[in-house]
Chains A and B, each alone.
Chain A
Amino acid sequence: MQGTLDLLILRTVSLEPQHGWAIAKRIQQVSREVLQVQQGSLYPALHRLEQKRWIKAKWAETDTGREAKFYELTGAGREQLEKETANWSRLSAAINLVLKTE
Chain B
Amino acid sequence: MSWAEKLWLRLRPLLRREQAARELDKEVQFHLEQQIAENIAAGMSPSEARYTALRIFGNTSSVKEQTKETWGWIRVEQIFQDLRYALRQLRKTPGFSATALLTLALGIGANAAIFTLVDALMMRHLPVTDPKTLIRIGDTNDCCVNGGVPDNADFSLFSTEVYERLKKSAPEFEQLAAMQAGFAYRPVVARREGTAETARSMMGEFVSGNYFDTFGLRPAAGRLFLESDDAEGAPMVAVLSYDAWRSTYAGDPTVVGSTFWINTKPVTIAGIAPEGFFGDRLSTSPPAFYFPLMTHEAISNVPYVHNNNIGWIYIIGRVKPGTPILPLQDKLSALIRGWAKETKMFDNNTDKSLPEKTHVVLTAGGGGIQDLRDQYESNLRLLMGASGLVLLIACANIANLLLVRGMRRKMEMSVRTALGAAKARIVRQLLTESVLLAGLGGLAGLLVAYLGAQMLLKLAFAGAKTIPVNALPSFAVLGFAFALSLLTGILFGVAPAWIASQANPAEALRSGSRGATSGASLLQRGLVVLQAALSLVLLVGAGLFAQSLMRLQGTDLKLDSKNRYIAHINPQGAGYSTTQVEALYRLIEQRFHQVSGVKNVGISIYTPMEDNNWGNSVQVQGQVFTGKSASVVKANAEYFGSVGTHVVTGRGIGVQDVFTAPAVAVVNQTFVKTFFPNGENPIGRRFGGPGPKSPGDFEIVGVVEDTVYTTVRWKDHSMYFLPITQHAPSDDSPIEKDPSMYAGALVLQTEAPINNIEALTRKTLAEINSNLAVVKFQTFDQQIADRFHDDKMIAQLTALFGGLALLLAAIGLYGVTAYTVARRTSEIGIRMALGARRAGVIGMVMRGAMSQTVIGLAIGIPAALLCVRFVRSQLYEIQGVNVAVMTVAILSLMLASLLAGMIPARSAASTEPAQTLRAE
Contact = CB atoms under 8 A, between A and B. Distances in A.
Contact of A47 (B30, B31, B71): B71
Interface in B1-59: 1, 9, 23-24, 26-28, 30-31, 34-35, 56-59
Contacts of A19: 30-31
A38 B60 CA distance: 11
B70 A48 contact: yes
B67 interface: yes
B67 A44 contact: yes
A20 B27 contact: yes
A39 B35 contact: yes
B31 A39 contact: yes
Dominant secondary structure at the B interface: helix
Contact of B31 (A21, A41, A59): A21
Contacts of B26: 67, 69
Contacts of A46: 67
Contact of B35 (A21, A47, A51, A66): A21
A41 B60 CA distance: 10
B27 A44 contact: no
B67 A53 contact: no
Contacts of B64: 43
B58 A38 contact: yes
B23 to A, nearest CB: 7
Most buried by B among A39, A43, A67: A43
Dominant secondary structure at the A interface: helix
A43 B28 contact: yes
Given A38-B58, A39-B56, A51 B72 contact: yes
Interface string A59-77: 1000000111100000000
A13 interface: no
Nearest to B72: A51
B63 interface: yes
Interface in B52-84: 56-60, 62-64, 66-67, 69-72
B63 A43 contact: yes
Interface band, chain B: 20 to 34
Contacts of B69: 44
A90 B71 CA distance: 32
B429 to A, nearest CB: 21
A25 to B, nearest CB: 8
Interface in A33-60: 38-41, 43-44, 46-48, 51, 53, 59
A39 B56 CA distance: 6
A51 B9 contact: yes
A38 B57 contact: yes
A24 interface: yes
Contacts of A67: 26, 30
B60 A40 contact: yes
B31 A44 contact: no
A47 B70 contact: yes
Given A20-B27, A44-B66, A53-B9, A39 B57 contact: yes
Nearest to A41: B58
Given A38-B56, A40-B60, A47-B70, 12 more contacts: A21-B34, A40-B58, A40-B62, A40-B63, A41-B63, A43-B64, A43-B67, A44-B67, A44-B70, A51-B70, A67-B30, A69-B23
30 contacts: A19-B30, A20-B27, A20-B30, A21-B31, A21-B34, A24-B31, A38-B56, A38-B57, A38-B58, A40-B28, A40-B59, A40-B60, A40-B62, A40-B63, A41-B63, A43-B64, A43-B66, A44-B70, A46-B67, A47-B67, A47-B71, A48-B70, A51-B70, A51-B71, A53-B9, A66-B30, A67-B26, A67-B30, A68-B27, A69-B26
